[in-house]
Amino acid sequence: MSRFVPKPEDHFTFGLWTVGNRGRDPFGHEVRPAVPPVRLVQLLSEVGAYGVNFHDNDLIPIDATPQERDAIVAEFKQAVNDCNMRVPMVTVNLFSDPVFRDGAFTSNVRSIREYALRKTIESIDLAAELGAEIFVLWGGREGTEVDASKDPRDALKRYRECIDFLCEYVIDHQYPLKFALEAKPNEPRGDLYLPTTGSMLAFIETLAHPDMVGVNPEFAHETMAGLNMYHQVAQALEAGKLFHIDLNDQKIGRFDQDLRFGSESLKGAFFLVKLLEDAGWQGMRHFDAHAYRTEDEEGVKAFAEGCIRNYLILREKVHQFNEDPEIQAILQELRAEGGDEPLVYSADAAAALKDRTFDRVSLGEKAYPYEKLDQLVVELLLGVR
């Protein structure tokens, strides 16, 4: 049993909104009572989490006075310290209040864009106060149902202005904070701008301070778009832009399910863990998921423990994969075909390609042992290897 017990250095984190999720959905009311943030911190420490993340309004009501805010933050800090936890990431809620019904940074109304900036810089101050290093921006309502209402180019221009503004703010205050942009294809809006991690990566290069901005891919969101999370994360990692990650699970073609990590797409979760572990990625293993609506507090704990256990079990499977003689022999065989050697341009190299006679037909006759390789992976995951 002690094999899958988390250690602080595993860096598992959860949002207050995940274990605090009350099970409300578009067709039904809350099924679980509101749990105070301080109690949620204790619950997370009981399941072995390293850190706790939150939106400004998960902790501080939107209409709190400055005095109330300070008292809440002081009590929360105390609870985090008492539990020997950290706050590695903070984010801002720019989607729940009616003021954001048509977006925040992309709103047609300048005062709403300004209010969104004010709300965000206050959350950034709080993030810095609590020692967070990453600030996530999920554009929950940055989208539309009515394309006649906005030219998407204007929306992107406004989005860019706001992120540039926020980067300058962080630079001005010398906060050691970086931004991670989280994509989602739809929900709650019919269409969200910058719907995938790939779109975010392209957008980041158009910002004034691209070095300060990376991505926060979410398993569920990429899957909703029909994409392969493993590939999306690999691209972000390879570009040095994987600043944060939202681990959860999802069935393709559904609403944003935010399922327990590893509960649905075992092979996808396995390759994702393999990618992060093989790369020695230093970021937080953050779970952005919540318990089924059928659960009570005990179920919420089982959910959180399940996320962590599944990550640790898959991590053990990764080690097994990396040491499995049969799997490694096949990979070795594939590498022997020159898979690792770079192709570098020179005039001579191009001329040599033109002069060379390729036996296209025999190259086309070559078969690949991928059925065997994939079956070995399946058997490894099913626990019979």
Catalytic residues: 55, 58
Per CB under 6 A, 58 contacts ligand GLT: no
Q: Least separation, in Å, of the C-beta of 326 and ligand GLT?
A: 39
Question: Is 20 or 198 the residue whose CB approaches ligand GLT more closely?
Answer: 20
Question: Is 14 or 321 the residue whose CB approaches ligand GLT more closely?
Answer: 14
Tokens 């977006």 locate to: 103
Does the annotation flag 326 for ligand binding?
A: no
CA distance 307 to 256: 17
Q: Calculate the CA 21 to chain-centre distance.
A: 18
CA distance 185 to 176: 30
Exactly one of 12, 14, 17, 76 binds ligand GLT (CB under 6 A); that residue is 17
**What x-and-dash track marks residues 211-230 binding Mn ion by CB under 5 A?**
-------x-x----------
Per CB under 6 A, 91 contacts ligand GLT: yes
Does the annotation flag 11 for ligand binding?
A: no
- Chain positions 163 to 192 lying near ligand GLT, rule: CB under 6 A, are 182
Q: What is the CA radius of gyration of the chain?
A: 23
Per CB under 6 A, 219 contacts ligand GLT: no
Q: Least separation, in Å, of the C-beta of 256 and Mn ion?
A: 4
Partner touching 91 among Mn ion, ligand GLT, none, CB below 5 to 8 Å by kind:
ligand GLT
Q: Least separation, in Å, of the C-beta of 266 and Mn ion?
A: 19
Per CB under 5 A, 102 contacts Mn ion: no
Does the annotation flag 182 for ligand binding?
A: yes
Per CB under 6 A, 136 contacts ligand GLT: yes
CA distance 97 to 106: 15
Partner touching 324 among ligand GLT, Mn ion, none, CB below 5 to 8 Å by kind:
none
Q: Which residues bind ligand GLT (CB under 6 A)?
A: 17, 55, 91, 136, 138, 182, 218, 246, 256, 288
Annotated binding site: 182, 218, 221, 246, 288
